[in-house]
Structure 1
Amino acid sequence: MAESAIGSVLGNVSTLAVQETTFLCGVNLEVGFLKDELKRLKSYLKSADAKRRSGDELVATWVSQIRDAAYEAENAIEAADYTEKRNRLKNGFMGAISRYARLPSDLIALHTIGAEIQRVKRKISEIFDSANRLKINLDTSDVEKVLIGDEYPQDYGTMHQNFEDIDLIGFGDEYKEIVGKLVDKENITLSVVSIVAMGGAGKTTLARKVYTSSSVKQHFEATSWVTVSQKFKGIDLLKDIMKQIMGGRDESIAKMNEYEVGKEIHDFLLHKRYLIVLDDVWETDTWDQINKRVKAFPDATNGSRVLLTTRKGDVANHVQMPTLVHHLKKLDEEKSWELFSSKALPPYKRSAIRDVDEFKKLGKRLAKKCDGLPLALAVLGGYLSKNLNAQTWSNILSDWPATKDGKMMRVILARSYKDLPNHLRSCLLYFAAFPEDYEIYVAYLIELWIAESFIPHTPNHTLEETAQRYVTELAQRSLVQVVRRSRAHGWIERIRIHDILHDWCIEEARQDGFLDAIDKTAGQAGASSSSDNLMSYRFSFQTLSDQILPATPNVRSLLGFGLSSTSLPKLRFLRVLCIEDSTLKDFSSVIGRCIHLRLLRLRYCEGVALPSSIGKLLYLQTIDLRGTILESVVPNSLWDIPTLRHVYLRNCFFSPPPPARSVRLQPKELQSFALLLDPVGTDFRCHDMMIFLGQLNQLTTFCLFMHPNIPAEVLNIFANMPHLVDISLGQFDVLDKLPAEFPQSVRSLFLSADVIKQDPMPILEKLPCLVVLRLWGYKGQTMCCSSQGFPRLQELLLGSFSTEVWRMEEGAMPKLSHLTLQSCKKISKLPVGLLHLPSLDHLELAFMTQISEDDITLNELRRKGCEVHTYVRAA
Structure 2
Amino acid sequence: MAEFLVAKVVFQLTNLLVQEAAFLRGVRDQVEWVKTQLQLLQVFLKDAESRRRRGDERVEIWIRQMSGVAYEIEDVIGTIKYMGERRHQRRGFMGTMSRYSHKPRELITLHEIGGKLEKIKEKIRGFSESRATYGIANLGKSSAVDQSGQSLRESSPHSDDDDIDVIGFENDKKELMCRLLDRNEKARCVISIVGMGGLGKTTLASKVYNDPAIKEHFDTSAWVSVSQSYRVIELAKDVMKKVMGIKKKKETTTGITEEDLEQMGEEEVREKLRDFLRDRKYLVVMDDVWSVDVWGQMYPFFPNGNNGSRILLTTREMEVANRARSSFPPYKLHTLDGTQSLELLCRKAFPLKQDVPADMKELAKRLAKRCGGLPLALVALGGLLSGKDSTYDAWWSVAQSMNWEDGPDGKKCFNILGLSYNDLPYLLKPCFLYIAAFPEDSIISASKLVRLWVAEGFIPEEQRRTMEETARVWLDNLVQRCMIQVVERSKAGGQVKSIRIHDLLREFGQSEARRDGFLQICSSDNMAVSIWSHRAAFHNRINDEVAVSSPHLRTLLGFNLILTNGRRFLNGLNLLRVLDLEGTRDLKELPKQIGSMIHLRYLGLRNTSLKRLPSSIRHLLNLQTLDVSGTYIYWLPKSFWKIRTLRHVYINLYMFLSAPIGGDHKNLQTLQIEESEFGLDAMDIVHLRGIRFIKKLVTTPSFTMEEIHKAVDRMFEESLEKALKQMDNLVSLSLILLERIIPGDVLFAQTPNLYQLRSLTLWGRLSLKQQQQCPDSSQFPPNLTKLVLIHSEFEQDPMPVLDKLPNLRLLQLNAYAYKGKSMSCSSTRGFPQLQQLVLFGVHSLEEWRVKAGAMPSLTHLTIAKCEKLKMLPEGLQHVTTLRELDLRDMSYEFNKRVRNEDAYKVRHIPSIHFDLPNEIEFM
TM-score (norm 2): 0.86
1:757 positional shift: 0.7
1:373 aligns with 374
2:439 aligns with 435
Structure 1 position 582 matched with structure 2 position 584: yes
Structure 1 position 343 matched with structure 2 position 351: no
Structure 1 position 318 matched with structure 2 position 359: no
Q: Conserved in 2, the CA contact under 8 Å of 1:674 and 1:703?
A: yes
1:706 positional shift: 1.8
Structure 1 position 789 matched with structure 2 position 830: yes
Distance of aligned partners of 1:607 and 1:705 in 2 relative to their CA distance in 1, 3 Å threshold:
closer
Distance of aligned partners of 1:457 and 1:52 in 2 relative to their CA distance in 1, 3 Å threshold:
same
1:677 aligns with 675
2:513 aligns with 509
Query: What pairs up with 1:538-687 in 2 under 5 angstroms?
Result: 538-545=535-542, 547-550=544-547, 552-565=550-563, 566=565, 567-583=569-585, 584=587, 587-607=590-610, 609-627=612-630, 629-631=631-633, 633-649=635-651, 653-657=654-658, 662=661, 664-678=662-676, 679-680=679-680, 681=683, 683=694, 684=712, 685-687=715-717
Q: Secondary structure at the match of 1:422?
A: coil
Distance of aligned partners of 1:782 and 1:549 in 2 relative to their CA distance in 1, 3 Å threshold:
same
1:869 aligns with 913
Distance of aligned partners of 1:188 and 1:719 in 2 relative to their CA distance in 1, 3 Å threshold:
farther
Deviations 1:175-232 (A, max 9, x none): 3554455456666654333322221011111222333344444555544322110111
Query: What pairs up with 1:141-540 in 2 under 5 angstroms?
Result: 141=141, 143-144=143-144, 156-157=155-156, 161-164=159-162, 167-179=165-177, 181-182=179-180, 189-220=187-218, 222-244=220-242, 245-249=245-249, 253-269=261-277, 272-292=280-300, 295=301, 297-298=302-303, 303-319=308-324, 325-347=330-352, 356-388=357-389, 389-394=391-396, 396-397=398-399, 401-403=404-406, 405-521=409-525, 523-527=526-530, 535-540=532-537
Structure 1 position 744 matched with structure 2 position 782: yes
**What are the ranges of 5 or more consecutive residues in structure 1 without an aligned counterpart?**
529-534
1:719 aligns with 752
1:780 aligns with 820
1:464 positional shift: 1.8
Q: Conserved in 1, the CA contact under 8 Å of 2:200 and 2:375?
A: yes
Deviations 1:291-347 (A, max 9, x none): 54xx3x445655544332112233234336665743333223222111100111232
Q: Secondary structure at the match of 1:868?
A: strand
Deviations 1:421-474 (A, max 9, x none): 212121222223222222211221122222222222344232222222222222
Structure 1 position 858 matched with structure 2 position 858: no
Whole-angstrom distance in 1 between the partners of 2:55 and 2:94: 57
Structure 1 position 848 matched with structure 2 position 890: yes
| One-letter amino acid of the counterpart of residue 792, structure 1 | Q
1:775 positional shift: 0.6
Q: Which shows bigger deviation, 542-551 or 724-733?
A: 542-551
**What are the ranges of 5 or more consecutive residues in structure 2 without an aligned counterpart?**
250-257, 689-693, 695-711
Query: What pairs up with 1:49-60 in 2 under 5 angstroms?
Result: 49-60=49-60
The percentage of aligned residue pairs carrying the same residue is 39
| One-letter amino acid of the counterpart of residue 830, structure 2 | G
Query: What pairs up with 1:72-111 in 2 under 5 angstroms?
Result: 72-91=72-91, 94-111=94-111
1:861 positional shift: 4.5
Distance of aligned partners of 1:632 and 1:824 in 2 relative to their CA distance in 1, 3 Å threshold:
closer
Q: Conserved in 2, the CA contact under 8 Å of 1:201 and 1:373?
A: yes
1:93 positional shift: 5.5
Query: What pairs up with 1:65-76 in 2 under 5 angstroms?
Result: 65-76=65-76
Q: Secondary structure at the match of 1:510?
A: helix
Q: Secondary structure at the match of 1:378?
A: helix
Q: Secondary structure at the match of 1:347?
A: coil
1:125 positional shift: 2.2
Whole-angstrom distance in 1 between the partners of 2:58 and 2:163: 48
1:869 positional shift: 2.5
Deviations 1:377-422 (A, max 9, x none): 0011111222334234335546662425422112111211221221
Whole-angstrom distance in 1 between the partners of 2:543 and 2:516: 29
1:492 positional shift: 2.1
Q: Which shows bigger deviation, 3-12 or 855-864?
A: 855-864
Deviations 1:535-589 (A, max 9, x none): 5211122232463444521111121223322522411211111223324476333
Q: Conserved in 2, the CA contact under 8 Å of 1:791 and 1:812?
A: yes
Distance of aligned partners of 1:666 and 1:173 in 2 relative to their CA distance in 1, 3 Å threshold:
farther
| One-letter amino acid of the counterpart of residue 528, structure 2 | A
Q: Which shows bigger deviation, 145-154 or 563-572?
A: 145-154
Structure 1 position 34 matched with structure 2 position 34: yes
Q: Conserved in 2, the CA contact under 8 Å of 1:818 and 1:841?
A: yes
Q: Which shows bigger deviation, 199-208 or 387-396?
A: 387-396
Q: Secondary structure at the match of 1:797?
A: strand
Whole-angstrom distance in 2 between the partners of 1:823 and 1:251: 23
Whole-angstrom distance in 2 between the partners of 1:252 and 1:468: 38
Question: Residue 799 of structure 1 is aligned with which of 830, 840, 848?
Answer: 840
Q: Secondary structure at the match of 2:561?
A: coil
1:625 positional shift: 2.8
Q: Conserved in 1, the CA contact under 8 Å of 2:720 and 2:747?
A: no
1:700 aligns with 731
1:147 positional shift: 7.8
Q: What is the alpha-carbon root mean square deviation over aligned residues?
A: 3.1
Whole-angstrom distance in 1 between the partners of 2:917 and 2:421: 49
Distance of aligned partners of 1:149 and 1:819 in 2 relative to their CA distance in 1, 3 Å threshold:
farther
Deviations 1:708-736 (A, max 9, x none): 32424264243332222222222337861
Q: Secondary structure at the match of 1:756?
A: coil
Distance of aligned partners of 1:138 and 1:152 in 2 relative to their CA distance in 1, 3 Å threshold:
closer
Q: Conserved in 1, the CA contact under 8 Å of 2:433 and 2:510?
A: yes
1:593 positional shift: 0.9
Whole-angstrom distance in 1 between the partners of 2:156 and 2:95: 50
Whole-angstrom distance in 1 between the partners of 2:73 and 2:573: 17
1:692 positional shift: 4.8
1:173 positional shift: 4.1
Q: Secondary structure at the match of 2:791?
A: strand
Distance of aligned partners of 1:562 and 1:8 in 2 relative to their CA distance in 1, 3 Å threshold:
same
Whole-angstrom distance in 2 between the partners of 1:469 and 1:707: 35
Distance of aligned partners of 1:697 and 1:865 in 2 relative to their CA distance in 1, 3 Å threshold:
closer
Q: Secondary structure at the match of 1:423?
A: coil
2:254 aligns with none
Deviations 1:521-545 (A, max 9, x none): 2x343236xxxxxx52111222324
